[in-house]
Structure 1
Amino acid sequence: MNEQKNRILNKINILNLLIIVLIFVADRFSKIKIINYVLSNNKSIYVNDYLNLELVWNSGIGFGLLNLDAGIWYHFISLIIFFVILAIIYLMIKSSNLDKIFLSLVLGGALGNLYDRALYFSVPDFIDIHFNDFHWFTFNIADIFISLGIILILLKEVFLKKHEKN
């Protein structure tokens, strides 16, 4: 029984690692492609009336909040992000299998953005969703998975807690 449980846990851990790596690679690939395109063509990409791919360098935190120069505050925020990543890894070790999957989404995206912070001293954001003159925050693939993982964790907590009460 213990051997079968260990095999199942190993498969789950491999799945989580695969999710993290795939998100990291997809994020890196998308950022490299958009950076190379913009540097070569010196323009953004018009997709449709609601979506452009436009490179914006974000030295702040998620969705361009707290945009900072690469000074002491930038390094302080980067250090906090590093410790949040360590906390996510700790939570993954202690969490249920479903939570591990959701945390893998967050971790894959967080590692992608942290890598950019170390490499470029900012994060390349490029997905620009807009309606007429209203533009949502520009974001990237990593931000999508970070947000998705957090939303899924919150939904699970809300609906499972509600279900447990009934």
Structure 2
Amino acid sequence: MTDRTSKNYVINFFLTHGSDSYYFNSFLNFVLLWNTGMAFGIFESDSYTYHAFSFLIFLVIIFLIVWLFRSNRKFEKISIALIIGGALGNWFDRIVYNAVPDFIDLHYLDFHWFVFNVSDIIISVGILLLILSDFFLKNK
């Protein structure tokens, strides 16, 4: 819900103000980029490849859902659910907009990290928690 709300707000903000960037402070900008590639804009693609990636993402989401229901570890389930939620948010955009709106631009001086969105944060947190759970909470 936070992902959809943030994306709708940013899209409407930039459409209303006729701009595609907003300086927030010395380390954060908001820019509206339409990502037709994979995570963080990697593998920008043509229409055929884009649809193939979209289908692959759909299959990964199905795999994660099966894993979620087969898991009996609570922390693992939470981690997988976060990944699924973020992936569904971006997959929805791929289907509706034929691109994923990315808008968070973290930077320091002239170094800019990849532009990302709230779904990317949720996916990253889910993956980090999944890795940590595997290291620290694994059943012996």
Residue number in structure 2 paired with 1:135: 112
Residue number in structure 2 paired with 1:72: 48
Q: Which has the larger displacement, 96-105 or 74-83?
A: 96-105
Gapped regions of structure 2 (runs ≥ 5): none
The two structures, once aligned, show a CA RMSD in angstroms of 1.2
Distance 2:45 2:11 in 1: 21
Name the structure where helix makes up a greater proportion of residues.
1
AA of the residue aligned to 1:114: W
The within-5 A match list for 1:1-166 is 25-43=1-19, 44-69=21-46, 71-95=47-71, 96-161=73-138, 164=140
**Residue deviations 1:87-118, cap 9 Å, x none?**
00000001122111111111110000000000
Alpha-carbon deviation of 1:160? Answer: 3.2
> Whose Rg is larger?
1
Aligned length: 138
Distance 1:41 1:72 in 2: 33
Provide the secondary structure at the position in 1 that maps to 2:137: helix
Which runs of 4 or more aligned residues in structure 1 lie more than 4 Å from their structure 2 counterparts after TM superposition?
Answer: none
Distance 2:18 2:121 in 1: 25
Distance 1:83 1:125 in 2: 23
Identity %: 47
Distance 1:98 1:131 in 2: 34
Q: Which has the larger displacement, 39-48 or 136-145?
A: 39-48
Residue number in structure 2 paired with 1:11: none
AA of the residue aligned to 2:120: D
Alpha-carbon deviation of 1:158? Answer: 1.7
Gapped regions of structure 1 (runs ≥ 5): 1-24
TM-score normalised per structure 2: 0.94
Provide the secondary structure at the position in 2 that maps to 1:73: helix
Contact 2:75/2:133, CA 8 A, preserved across alignment: no
Provide the secondary structure at the position in 2 that maps to 1:45: strand
